[in-house]
């Protein structure tokens, strides 16, 4: 009877022990604050816009998406860095794919720069994020950033989220335009011909596009680059002028 009683007692404790593990709470908090971005298969464009993040610390190393494996930065004691072990692990991962770090384009991002979050997950030793940038001189960069758990023991979710907020913050999530900004288009009188189709051309300003298409349902702001999402098209502005229409 004793082994059976002990087994039943442990079984009753299991849900309580699981509930005390903050990993599930951390995962839930991450999902409520960050929205994953999805890129096209060739990484040439955003397929599903998610959270745009602003960096609050210097020294985040990213590499070209041509690399088969990204570097893993670590945030600890107020600094972002890649130690000897992380550099060695990255070099080994690239070497297994026939690549060398010295031949991969790299760039250190600094405070104020923006990028997309494409993945985040909670592991035994910490929280991991994967970031992708917009192209710089035709090179798109990506990286991994780790927020380690002290001695692999996860702190309370509030503490973890505060630490993450020291490094990154959501800058411009997809926003729904206020209803007041979108006035219904007037219906032309029956005896008048239908209006000409609305066309957008490269070089037009934001004001000109808004005058033609109205306020978009969704806007993603990436500093010099902005993306206006309409129901049947996507207008990309660079420097305040249309660079592409898709």
Q: Is the dihedral of CA 99, 103, 104, 108 positive or negative?
A: positive
Q: Which of 8-12, 149-153, 230-234 has the highest mean pLDDT?
A: 149-153
pLDDT of 169 reads 94
pLDDT digits (tens, 9 = 90+) for 125-178: 999 999 999 999 899 999 999 999 999 999 999 999 999 999 999 985 444 445
Nearest to 216 by CA among 202, 232, 205: 232
Residue 190, pLDDT > 80, answer no
pLDDT-based confidence at residue 17 (cuts at 50, 70, 90)? very low
pLDDT-based confidence at residue 15 (cuts at 50, 70, 90)? very low
Q: Is the dihedral of CA 42, 43, 44, 45 positive or negative?
A: positive
pLDDT of 65 reads 97
pLDDT of 177 reads 45
* CB burial of residue 193 (10 Å; 0-12, 13-18, 19+): exposed
pLDDT of 219 reads 86
Give the separation between CA 237 and CA 3, rounded to whole angstroms: 70
Q: Which of 93-97, 173-177, 191-195 has the highest mean pLDDT?
A: 93-97
pLDDT-based confidence at residue 207 (cuts at 50, 70, 90)? confident
């Amino acid at each position: 009877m004793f082994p059976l009683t002990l087994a039943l007692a442990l079984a009753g404790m299991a849900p309580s022990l699981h509930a005390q593990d903050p990993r599930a709470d951390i995962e839930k908090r991450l999902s409520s604050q960050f929205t994953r971005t999805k890129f096209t298969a060739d990484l040439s464009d955003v397929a599903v816009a998610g959270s745009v993040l602003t960096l609050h610390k210097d020294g985040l190393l990213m590499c070209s998406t041509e690399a088969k494996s990204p570097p893993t930065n670590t945030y600890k004691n107020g600094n972002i860095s890649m130690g000897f072990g992380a550099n060695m692990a990255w070099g080994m991962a690239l070497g297994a794919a026939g690549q060398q770090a010295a031949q991969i384009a790299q760039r250190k991002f600094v405070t104020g720069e923006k990028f997309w979050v494409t993945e985040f997950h909670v592991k035994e030793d910490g929280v991991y994020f994967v970031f992708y940038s917009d192209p710089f001189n035709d090179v798109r960069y990506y990286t991994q950033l780790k927020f380690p758990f002290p001695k692999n023991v996860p702190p309370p979710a509030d503490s973890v989220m505060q630490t993450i907020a020291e490094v990154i913050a959501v800058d411009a999530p997809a926003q729904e335009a206020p209803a007041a900004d979108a006035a219904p288009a007037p219906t032309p009188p029956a005896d008048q011909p239908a209006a000409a189709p609305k066309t957008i051309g490269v070089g037009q300003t934001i004001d000109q596009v808004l005058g033609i298409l109205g306020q978009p349902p969704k806007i993603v702001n990436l500093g010099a680059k902005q993306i206006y999402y309409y129901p049947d098209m996507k207008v990309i502005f660079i420097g305040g002028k249309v660079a592409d229409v898709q």
